[in-house]
Chain A
Amino acid sequence: MLGSLMVASLSSFGNGTVMAAVLQRSFVQDARVLTNDQLLFAFALARVTPGQSNLYIASIGYMMFGWAGSILSMLAIILPSYLMLPMLGGYQRLRTLSAVPRFTRGLASTAVGILMATTWNLSKDSLDPPVTWVVLTVALGLMIFTRLPTIVSLALATALGVAIVLAVPGAAGSVPL
């Protein structure tokens, strides 16, 4: 687990969203130790908790190995940041290397492609009963067209989904409630 999280953290430069794409492949598709729902839940926690956006992997660590897993998962975030110390020494040289920002730009654009593919993979599993499409559409609308904080959009869309499931027969599809 720690190895996979470390690879995800390093290769995504600690970006929480890109890490989700890497983890979806490692833990959900390949190792099958997590479901897409678990990964999405963990990712959503980054939006409702303070601090930086990649600490949701503590949730993944907990789901897999309890408290020990959650604490170990933090090493995947913390250890790579110690590269800062030797790099501080060589900062002047790094600043003049034009390849460095070009590398990060190439990394960024590749990450976008990976995210698009992962979004497709996540969508296939998460969108089935009619109510999921309604919640998705409402959440997207609130996030794109309003200035509401993400956590509020999340809460409103979820509340609407709950209301629809409780009030409309068949909205939950074949999911037993």
Chain B
Amino acid sequence: MRLWELFRLFFRLGWTFGAGTAMTALLQDELVRKRRMVTRSEFMNVYGLARIVPSGSTTAIAVAFGHRFGGLLGTVVALVAMILPAFTLTVLLTIGREQLQGTPAFPLLNLTIMPAALAIVIVSTWNLAQEFFHPSVELLLAACAAIGILVFGISPPLLLVAGGLVGAFTVRERRTRGKRTEGTKRSGEGEGAEQTA
């Protein structure tokens, strides 16, 4: 794939609504079904690995396929193309907000958009939390983390690493329909978390 084609593919991806899940589905459709440049198995292997890279899964996938089709330069092209639409719109909207400061519309913005945005946070949190609301090590970890933040003021990154390490030794394997599976879903999975919100 030429670099320009790579740019066009990921730029189109960057305009997708529905966060990482929708973007990944679109990319799979393009690369596996339409262009037949990657097998489904290869794509799923990359996707599975992207879910455990400590970055957003979509950017990890962009690096993987950018490298495959264009080397290191391909990774830069894929990433820039993918983030450009959202980046531009985000900054422009932020500039718009700052322009409103000092005008009568600004306090109105805080009174209305902020509580609506808070609702998004609440729904996102609830959607993530549902999976852990049963007696388990995971529920205990969640409770300890909340107490750690509210009562002891412990740093969130420290809590996250500690929680991951404790989970590595204590979380039990989940059995699904007689098939042994690990709890592979993570809240760090931007796709799943945001999609359900």
A: residues with CB less than 8 A from B are: 7-18, 20-22, 25, 37, 40-56, 58-59, 62-63, 67, 70, 74, 77-78, 80-85, 87-88, 91, 94-95, 98-123, 126-127, 129, 131-133, 135-136, 139-140, 143-144, 150, 153-154, 157-158, 161-162, 165, 172, 175-177
CA distance A74 to B184 in the complex (A): 27
Nearest Cβ on chain B to A35's Cβ, whole angstroms = 9
Quick check: A129 and B111 within 8 Å, CB to CB? yes
How many A-B pairs fall under 8 Å by CB?
418
Residues of B within 8 A of A (CB): 14-17, 19-20, 23, 45-46, 48-64, 67, 75, 79, 82-83, 85-87, 89-91, 93-95, 97-98, 104, 107-125, 128-129, 131-132, 137-139, 141-150, 155-157, 159-171, 173, 182-190, 193-194, 197
Residues of B near A15 (CB, < 8 A) are: 56, 186-190, 193-194
Residues of B within 8 A of A44 (CB): 113, 116-117, 120
* B194 near A84: Cβ-Cβ < 8 Å: no
Contact present for A102 and B116 (CB under 8 Å): no
Q: Which of B64, B85, B184 contacts A51 (CB 8 A)?
A: B85
Using Cβ atoms and an 8 Å threshold, which residues of chain B touch A116? 125, 129, 142, 146
Contacts A50-B14, A127-B115 known; list 7 others, CB within 8 Å.
Answer: A25-B156, A43-B121, A52-B190, A58-B91, A104-B185, A112-B129, A113-B149
